[in-house]
Amino acid sequence: MKCSATALAGVFLLEPQVFEDERGFFYESYNARRFRDAIGIEPDFVQDNHSRSQRGVVRGLHYQVGVAQGKLVRVIAGSVYDVVVDLRRSSPTFGQWTGAELSSENRRQLWVPPGLAHGFVTLSEQAECLYKTAGYWSPEHERTLLWNDPALGIDWPLPCTPILSLKDQAGTPLCDAEVFA
C-alpha cells in the first residue's frame, strides 16, 4: 500500500497494490496491520457505511462533536471529489481544507481522522462510496459545516448545479461552528 500525507496533519491518501490480469483484479481494501504500519495508528472500526449519489450531489461537510469519528473513505463505482476540513483549533492547519479525487478506477482511499469535517461532490453520473468509521454515528452529536463557506475557500469541481439535502444547505459557517480543542 502506498501512503501519502496530505497538507493536513493526520490525513492520508492510500493507494492499494492492485493485482490485475485478463480475469479482472484483486486488492486488499483494508488490512489492519498494513494500515497501522502506514499511518501509525490502528483505529477501532465499528461501522461500515455505503452511499450512492447522482452527479452533482454534495454531501457534507459532516462531523461529530463529543463522539468524533475517524473515517476511511473509498469509492467502488464512479468518482467523487472528497474534501476534509481541519476543525482542530490547536492544529496549525485549523480552518484549512484538502481534497482528492476518489474513484473506482484509481481505487484510492482517504483516511479522515477525528476532528475534521468530511464531504464530497459526485463527479460521475452516479457514485457509490463505502466508508469505515471509527466511532458510531450519533445523530445528537452530528454537525454540518457550511459546504460553500467563503471563509473556507473550497474549490469544489462542481460538474453542474449542486444538489444538497436541507441539512447540508443549512450548514454552519466556520466562524460559528463547534470545533475541537
What tens digit of pLDDT does each residue of 68-80 get?
999 999 999 999 9
Provide the pLDDT for residue 59.
98
**Assigned domain for 181 exists:** no
Establish if 28 belongs to a structural domain. yes
Predicted pLDDT of residue 106: 97
DSSP state of 7: S
Summarize pLDDT for 79-89 with one digit per residue, the tens: 999 999 999 99
What cell does 161 get?
Answer: 448545479
- Do residues 135 and 114 make contact, with C-beta atoms less than 8 angstroms apart? yes
Within-domain flag for 21: yes
DSSP tag of 175: G
What local confidence, expressed as pLDDT, does residue 81 receive?
A: 98
Give the total number of structural domains in the chain: 1
Within a domain: 81? yes
22 domain residue, yes or no: yes
State residue 165's pLDDT score: 98
pLDDT band at 119 (very low <50, low <70, confident <90, very high): very high
Could you give the CA distance from residue 17 to residue 78 in angstroms, rounded to a whole number? 20
**Is position 139 within any domain?**
yes
CB 76 within 8 A of CB 128: yes
List the CATH number of the domain containing 88.
Answer: 2.60.120.10
Q: Which residues are catalytic?
A: 62, 131
The pTM score is 0.94
Which residue segment(s) compose the domain that 166 sits in?
2-176
pLDDT (0 to 100) of residue 51: 98
